[in-house]
Amino acid sequence: MSLHRLSFAFFVAGNDTYTGVPNHRSLPNSYDYLGQLVGLVRLPNEDNPSYRDRILDVQINPAGPTYTGLVNGMYRELGLSKFDALRVSPVYISATETLARSPVVEVKATKVILYEAWWGP
């Protein structure tokens, strides 16, 4: 998709010519009304589908005073999204037996440690 720069020119009685570049303006619609009801302001240049998803997220992932609530609120207000960055699944060699004897996943700050045989601390 390429963006084309728009411009305009119009003439006024006489020999004066005025030129310029049009400004993008969003007109308020029903999403803006719903956003006001849930206390969510539209981000600059945010389109309707993205704003709708953030409005729905208010009910799905509510903000609050807990750590999870703070993360939910900050992500939503900044227009960010959460996703699974890493998924660890055991490999089964039979219906109930895993390839690793006693697998454990430990997350420490920026490290992920995988144990094949974990017998406890």
14: left (phi over 0), alpha (psi -120 to 50) or beta: left
pLDDT at position 117: 76
User: Is-contact 46 53, C-beta < 8 A?
Assistant: no
Q: Which residue has the higher pLDDT, 26 or 72?
A: 72
pLDDT mean over 87-109: 84
pLDDT tops 70 at residue 120? no
Q: Which residue has the higher pLDDT, 85 or 40?
A: 40
Q: Which residue has the higher pLDDT, 82 or 59?
A: 59
| φ/ψ (deg, to 5) at 17 | -125, 135
Among 105, 108, 110, residue whose Cα is nearest residue 118: 105
What pLDDT band is residue 11 in, cutting at 50, 70 and 90?
low
Residue 105 pairs in a beta bridge with 114
- What pLDDT, in 10s, does the model give residues 30-69? 999 999 999 999 988 888 999 999 999 999 999 999 999 9
pLDDT at position 13: 64
pLDDT at position 32: 92
| φ/ψ (deg, to 5) at 114 | -110, 125
The token pair at 92 is 């089964």
